[in-house]
Amino acid sequence: MNSTIQKIRKALKENIDDKTQKSFQRFFKEEVKFHGVKTATVRKIANQFWKEIKMSEKQDIFDLCEQLFLSDYGEEASIAAFWLPKIADEFEPDDWFIFENWIEKYVNNWAKCDDFCNHTIGSFLVKYPEFIEELKGWTQSKNRWLKRAAAVSLIVPAKKGHFLKDVFEITDQLLLDKDDLVQKGYGWLLKVTSHLHQKEVFDYVMKNKENMPRTSLRYAIEKMPQSLRQEAMKR
């Protein structure tokens, strides 16, 4: 398995693009580590090596993913986040605590948070919806990435109409959070929820707009008709 990691890193280093390498930092406030490989190329590399490991035991795939997260490089975390949902059928309840631990230990920017949580945690919750209560607990964490994860983990399920009641409960818990990345996270969740539940999201925004940060509000109403956006933005 270590040889797989070595081959992945070799492939990434062979595909470093100077322009991409120089541009990554501007998307983040905190210092980040990237090899400097274009996203489309990272996806190709992830697909290439998935063919090599897809018949491996789940634990072996988990071990590979943790090694990729441990490197702290954004592209390696993206590869892990690309692989994990492919074995969602094999997820077991105890995997929740592994995933939570990975967020606490390895997630240190919004890209890693979203890549991992949108599909891996989202897929887990669809399979084990009883863990939605554990997700809600993340809203009270001191870890900003767990708080953002509480929202962005429902992005994919919410697009399909799932967890409507829970979307609003999580948003209630995060509503007054001062962290702009948490605000953007739950605003994004409301936006995708509005695709199938526009009235419910609009009513929620109107009810809470006096307290909701403008950042969150703008995200939430972004895809609504202009008339509704104008109404929501009125002071």
**Domain chopping of the chain, boundaries:** 134-235
| pLDDT at residue number 1 | 61
- For 5, 53, 66, 105, 193, the CA distances from 63, given in Å and listed in that order, are 11, 12, 5, 15, 34
Q: Which residues pair with 73 in a beta bridge?
A: 33
Q: Where on the phi/psi map is residue 91: left (φ > 0), alpha (ψ -120 to 50), or beta? A: beta
Residues 177 and 147: beta-carbon distance below 8 Å:
yes
Alpha carbon 161 to its chain's center = 18
Neighbours of 232 (CB within 10 A): 18
Residues 86 and 51: beta-carbon distance below 8 Å:
no
Neighbours of 18 (CB within 10 A): 8
Residues 190 and 201: beta-carbon distance below 8 Å:
yes
Three-state DSSP class for residue 217: helix
| pLDDT at residue number 235 | 73
Amino acid at 66: E
CA-wise closest residue to 46 among 17, 85, 19: 85
Region 134-235: CATH code: 1.25.10.90
Three-state DSSP class for residue 91: coil
- Take residue 202 and report the two structure tokens written for it: 């609009």
Hunting for tokens 């609009």 — which residue is that?
202
Q: Which residues pair with 33 in a beta bridge?
A: 73
- For 102, 156, 225, the CA distances from 106, given in Å and listed in that order, are 5, 22, 39
Per-residue confidence of the chain (235 residues) as pLDDT tens digits?
Answer: 679 999 999 999 999 998 998 898 999 988 999 999 999 999 999 999 999 999 999 999 999 999 999 999 999 999 999 999 999 999 999 999 999 999 999 999 999 999 999 999 999 999 999 999 999 999 999 999 999 999 999 999 999 999 999 999 999 999 999 999 999 999 999 999 999 999 999 999 999 999 999 999 999 999 999 999 999 998 7
Compute the C-alpha angle 202/206/211, nearest 5°: 130
